[in-house]
Chain A
Amino acid sequence: MGGGRQSLVELFEAAPAALAELMVEGPRGGEPAWLPFGASGADQAELLVALLSEVVFLWDAEARLVVAARVEELSPTSLTARLGVIPADPVHHRPGEPVKAVTYHQARVEPRAGSWRGHVILDV
């Protein structure tokens, strides 16, 4: 999974919902509940893996679908954010890619041509 955004914050705010869209098809309506999220790591690639792993965990363990993210603080080694989640809808939500984990293998976050790109490999 890879993607880019103008800024690093935008990248971290877009990535969780993008992963959730891969994993689950169906409506995203309703007001989300906001859950706190925090991680530290050696670099931003580790932070991105941690953030996306939370998306997988919330769906698999708590039947909550991430629909948005707000970054509160992002440094090269730590991230504080809030994840907007809606409850799984067994009628309208359909399985997409069967993502089981977000790996560190070849994970990277890097500037490219005036924007930021993130790349992770998913275990499916």
Chain B
Amino acid sequence: MPSLQKIDDYRWRLPRSGDMLVDGVVYADQELVDALERDGTLKQLGGVASLPGIVGPALAMPDAHQGYGFPIGGVAAFDPRVGIVSPGGVGYDINCGVRLLRSKLAAGELGPKRLGELADALLASIPAGVGVGSQKRLSEKELSRIMQQGAAWAVSQGQGTTGDLDFCESGGVLPGADPAAVSDRAVKRGRGQAGSLGAGNHFLELAEVAEVFDAGAANAFGLEPGMLVLWVHSGSRGLGHQVCDDYLRRLNQDPDALRPADRQLIAAPADSPVGRDYLAAMAAAANFAFNNRQLLSEACRRVIGRVLGLGPAGLGMGLVYDVAHNVAKRERHAVEGKQRELMVHRKGATRALGPGHGDLPPRYAKAGQPVLVPGDMGTASYVLKGTARAMADTFASAAHGAGRAMSRTKAKKAARGRDLRAELAANQVIVRAASGKTLAEEMPEAYKDIDRVARVMHHSGIATLVARTRPLAVVKG
């Protein structure tokens, strides 16, 4: 693998070599690059750059790190006529994503006792943990509707308002979903998991808007200093994992599949029977995830209202935005001055539309899309906004989080003998977790420096800073 070549302080080129069809471009500063050169991210980026039909460079966002086949924080666009689609390029947790809700509440008015009560109530009320499902098992018909309607299904059940859908990526529903392309096994895993948080890096976080960098955009997003906000991070649960698993297995047995050295990167021509089926199943799983986050945020609104004794008007919890992190979508982007339809894979990356894009709700047309970037549970999270630069250079993509700096095993070793809850409490962060193991795996040092990741996005221009939030009470799956 060739060495990275510096383009400027925040961009690096991985020059085309070997089987690579295009260059790679890495968004990082020197310290982030040093970390990337120690793991397998660059080799994986080179693997992505070798996939047929790739258009433009293979991209690594500032939070990039080694994944399975495709790097996490990886973005690649393919010609849908001759290019591929890769389940590994989307990931297991299809449409794992994040949403942010504003409120009318001042965070400063909630002391540690109240925040502790809120965290306890959220942990008790929101199903969390791997394999832990919702209180209601859906009928197959209901699940089928969810897979076609996405977040709109929840709204049709009185969980939120149609206005919420305007503030979800793609309106909270991916087109082309076909429940028939989803296996019975995936349906079985999904039926009991709608409205559940899951485990691993999934979380609910009450936070305070600690700093505003761009008053105009913050105003458009309805954010102001001191405001209590809620982050919700979850995905398609077992259903999405099973869809990915099923299609990896089907591809393994498909003579037309493309088999790169890393088996997890196995791919199909997007315009092939298995490619089309995967995209239909992936969209169905993505819609399950949009619905899941809608159900979760509604459940949180109810719990917070109950604990604080406030109705919906008193809480004023409106959706700022909901974005997908793991998805492949047909989108139109300018390539060498011409608009082209592309199959954009984002694996651990966020869409970041610039101002004026037609897919934005009118309220955000001037500012651009809110780019939601949660950090670790002890430090901060960021709201940025999409830019024209991202539209031109990254297929309108930006980082999705801090990115892991340590493996889960390493994090658990590092956490041994420490009282993480007490450490976080000393830093005024209340944490509740369904599993103590998850807490160790997700400790702040396990992640890269979110401030650095946000700075790289800002200075490289792919998303610019709007606000920074500080965690107050975190519920981990």
Q: A95-B129, A95-B130, A123-B92 are in contact. Are A101 and B189 (CB under 8 A)?
A: no
B119 at interface by CB-CB < 8 Å:
no
The A-contacting residues of B in range 169-225, CB under 8 angstroms, are: 185, 188-189, 198-200
For B67, the chain A residues whose CB sits under 8 A away are 105
For B441, the chain A residues whose CB sits under 8 A away are 124
User: Which of B189, B253, B264, B437 is the one whose CB lies under 8 Å from A60?
Assistant: B189
The B-contacting residues of A in range 55-73, CB under 8 angstroms, are: 57, 59-63
Cα–Cα distance between A53 and B263 once the two chains are bound (Å): 16
For A41, the chain B residues whose CB sits under 8 A away are 252-253
Cα–Cα distance between A40 and B254 once the two chains are bound (Å): 12
Nearest B residue (CB) for A59 = B131
A103 at interface by CB-CB < 8 Å:
yes
Interface-located stretch among B3-11, B146-154, B240-248, B363-371: B240-248
For A100, the chain B residues whose CB sits under 8 A away are 92-93, 130, 198-200, 238, 241
A17 at interface by CB-CB < 8 Å:
no
For B68, the chain A residues whose CB sits under 8 A away are 103-105, 121, 123
Evaluate contact between A104 and B130: CB separation under 8 angstroms. no
The A-contacting residues of B in range 258-290, CB under 8 angstroms, are: 262-264, 266
For A95, the chain B residues whose CB sits under 8 A away are 129-131, 199, 434-435, 437
For A60, the chain B residues whose CB sits under 8 A away are 130-131, 189, 238
Distance (whole angstroms) from the CB of A21 to the closest CB of chain B: 14
Produce 1/0 per residue, A39-60, CB < 8 A to B: 0111001100010010001011
Give the interface centre of B188, B249, B253, B408 by most chain A CB atoms within 10 Å. Answer: B249
B73 at interface by CB-CB < 8 Å:
no
User: Which of A40, A45, A98 is the one whose CB lies under 8 Å from B199?
Assistant: A98
For B130, the chain A residues whose CB sits under 8 A away are 60, 95, 98-100, 124
Evaluate contact between A61 and B249: CB separation under 8 angstroms. no
User: Which of B238, B266, B435 is the one whose CB lies under 8 Å from A104?
Assistant: B266
Evaluate contact between B200 and A46: CB separation under 8 angstroms. no
Evaluate contact between B242 and A104: CB separation under 8 angstroms. no
For B248, the chain A residues whose CB sits under 8 A away are 104
User: Which of A40, A97, A98, A101 is the one whose CB lies under 8 Å from B245?
Assistant: A101
Produce 1/0 per residue, B83-99, CB < 8 A to A: 00000100011000000
Evaluate contact between A61 and B263: CB separation under 8 angstroms. no
The B-contacting residues of A in range 95-120, CB under 8 angstroms, are: 95-101, 103-107
Give the interface centre of A50, A95, A96 by most chain B CB atoms within 10 Å. Answer: A95
User: Which of A50, A96, A99, A107 is the one whose CB lies under 8 Å from B249?
Assistant: A50
Distance (whole angstroms) from the CB of A82 to the closest CB of chain B: 19
B69 at interface by CB-CB < 8 Å:
yes
Cα–Cα distance between A7 and B169 once the two chains are bound (Å): 51
Nearest A residue (CB) for B438 = A98
Distance (whole angstroms) from the CB of A83 to the closest CB of chain B: 15
For B242, the chain A residues whose CB sits under 8 A away are 57, 61
Nearest B residue (CB) for A107 = B263
Cα–Cα distance between A53 and B243 once the two chains are bound (Å): 12
Distance (whole angstroms) from the CB of B91 to the closest CB of chain A: 9
For B92, the chain A residues whose CB sits under 8 A away are 100-101, 103, 123
For B434, the chain A residues whose CB sits under 8 A away are 95
Cα–Cα distance between A106 and B198 once the two chains are bound (Å): 26
Distance (whole angstroms) from the CB of A37 to the closest CB of chain B: 13
Cα–Cα distance between A53 and B88 once the two chains are bound (Å): 16
Nearest B residue (CB) for A106 = B262
Evaluate contact between B241 and A101: CB separation under 8 angstroms. yes
Produce 1/0 per residue, A68-87, CB < 8 A to B: 00000000000000000000
Distance (whole angstroms) from the CB of A38 to the closest CB of chain B: 13
Q: A98-B200, A105-B263 are in contact. Are A62 and B245 (CB under 8 A)?
A: no
Nearest B residue (CB) for A97 = B437
Distance (whole angstroms) from the CB of B352 to the closest CB of chain A: 26
Cα–Cα distance between A95 and B185 once the two chains are bound (Å): 22
Evaluate contact between A98 and B238: CB separation under 8 angstroms. no
User: Which of B189, B264, B266, B477 is the one whose CB lies under 8 Å from A57?
Assistant: B189
For B69, the chain A residues whose CB sits under 8 A away are 104-105
Distance (whole angstroms) from the CB of B409 to the closest CB of chain A: 10
Distance (whole angstroms) from the CB of B278 to the closest CB of chain A: 15
Nearest B residue (CB) for A100 = B241
Q: Known pairs A98-B200, A100-B199, A106-B262. 16 more at Cβ < 8 A?
A: A45-B263, A57-B242, A59-B131, A60-B131, A61-B185, A96-B437, A97-B437, A98-B199, A99-B130, A100-B200, A101-B244, A101-B245, A104-B68, A104-B266, A105-B68, A124-B441
Jot down 16 A-B pairs with beta carbons below 8 A, ordered by A: A41-B252, A57-B242, A59-B131, A60-B238, A61-B189, A61-B238, A95-B129, A98-B130, A98-B199, A103-B68, A105-B67, A105-B262, A105-B264, A123-B68, A123-B241, A124-B441
Give the 8 A-B CB pairs with smallest separation, nearest first: A98-B130, A105-B68, A98-B199, A104-B263, A105-B264, A61-B188, A61-B189, A103-B68
